[in-house]
Structure 1
Amino acid sequence: MATRRKSQARRGSERRVPIWIWLLGGMLIGLGLSAALLIYDRDGRLPGPRPNPAAQAPRESEAPIAPAPRAEPEKQKPRYDFYTLLRERETQVSDKELAEKVRAETARPAAPAPAQPQAARERYLLQAGAFRDVRDADAVKARIALAGLQARVETANVNGAPVHRVRLGPYATASELEAAKRQLAENGVPDTLAVREALD
C-alpha cells in the first residue's frame, strides 16, 4: 500500500505545461504559415511582375500614340474663407490692455452717455482653455459651472485637427470681462485668455 501512494504522489507532482502556452504556440505557428502562404507564390517565388506570353512588341512603322493634352481646370479660390475671416475679427487682449480698458470705463461719469460707436463694434470673450479631447473641455466647463458662471464648448478646426474651446461671454465691457476673469481665478481656473471680437 505504501508503494501505491508514492507512485500516485509522483504523478501529481510532475510539472505540466500550461494550456495557454500551447494555445499561444499554435497561434504563432498558424500565423507564420499564413504569412508564408501570402508572401510566397505556389512556385516558391516572391510575387512580382510576370511577363505576358500573349504580348507582342510594337512594330517600328507604328508611331506610339500620345495621349491628347488635357486642359486642367483652373483652381478657383474659395469665395469665403471662414477661418481667415475669424482670425481677422478676433484678437487677443493682454492683461495690461484689459486693465487700461477697465480703468477707462470706471473713470467715465456715472451719467448715461450716448452709445459710443467703438463699444458697439466690439465685444469680449473669455477662453478658459482649448483641448484636443472633448472630455477635458467638458471637465473645465463643469468647474466653471461650479464657480457660478456659464460656459460653452466650441469646436474649431485648427491645422486640420479639431480643437474644443471652452468659452465664456460675450461681455459688452472690459470691466464685465475682468470680473468674470477674477471669479474664475478665485475658483481654481486661473489660465484664461481674453479675446476681443470685432462686430460688423
Structure 2
Amino acid sequence: MPHWLAWLNVDRLGVIVALATAVSAVVYAHRQTVIAQGAQAEAKRSADAAEEQVRIADAAKAEAQRSAEAALKAVAMDARRDHHDYGASRVELENLERRESQGIPNVPSYIATVRNASPREFMYRARVYYTANSYSDLKSGTMRSGETVELHLGSPDVEYERLEMWLDGECSCDQPDGAEGHWQRSFLVPPAPRQPTRRVTVLR
C-alpha cells in the first residue's frame, strides 16, 4: 500500500473534496463574473448606440423642421414678390391729356391712359376723386397684358385729386382681398394743361 494512501483518510479526503469544490466554485464564479461583465459592457455599448441613434434622429428631425420652415418662408416670400412684382404695381398711368371730345365740338375732356405692363390679366374698376370723399365711378372692364385703356375723367377745367383703380386677378399670395378688390392703385391727377391759344388772322 502506497505511503500517501495510508496518509489519506476520510477526514482528509473530505477536506480535499471541500477544497476542490471551493476552487471550482471560485473558478465558476470568476467565469460568470467575466461573462456578466462582458454582457454589461455589450449592454452599455448597445445603450450608447441606441442613445446615439436617438440623438441622430432628433438632429435629423430638427433639421427637417428647419428645412420645412425655410421652404415655407421661401414660398411666402415668392408669393409676396409675386403679389408685388407681377401684380398691380405694373399697372401704370401712362398719360394725361386734354382732348376735344369726338363728335362734340368745343367740349374738351381730360383723359387718362392707363397701361397694364404686367404679364397678367386684370378685372378693374376705376373712379376719379375730386376730394377725399367725393368721387365719380368711371369705367370697369378687363385689362389684358400690355393693353391700355382710356379713362375719361371729365372736364379739364375741374380740379381732380386722384385717379383710383381696384383690380382683381390670379395671385398666389395669402393676402385677403380688400373691400373693393385684391390690388389698389392710386394716381395723383395734376391740373389739365391750358387749352392752346388760337391765333386769329385779321384781313386788312
TM bucket (normalised to shorter chain) is under 0.3
TM-score (norm. length: structure 1): 0.25
Greater relative CO, 1 or 2 (CA 8 Å, sep 6+) = 1
User: Larger C-alpha radius of gyration, 1 or 2?
Assistant: 2
User: TM-score, structure 2 length as denominator?
Assistant: 0.25
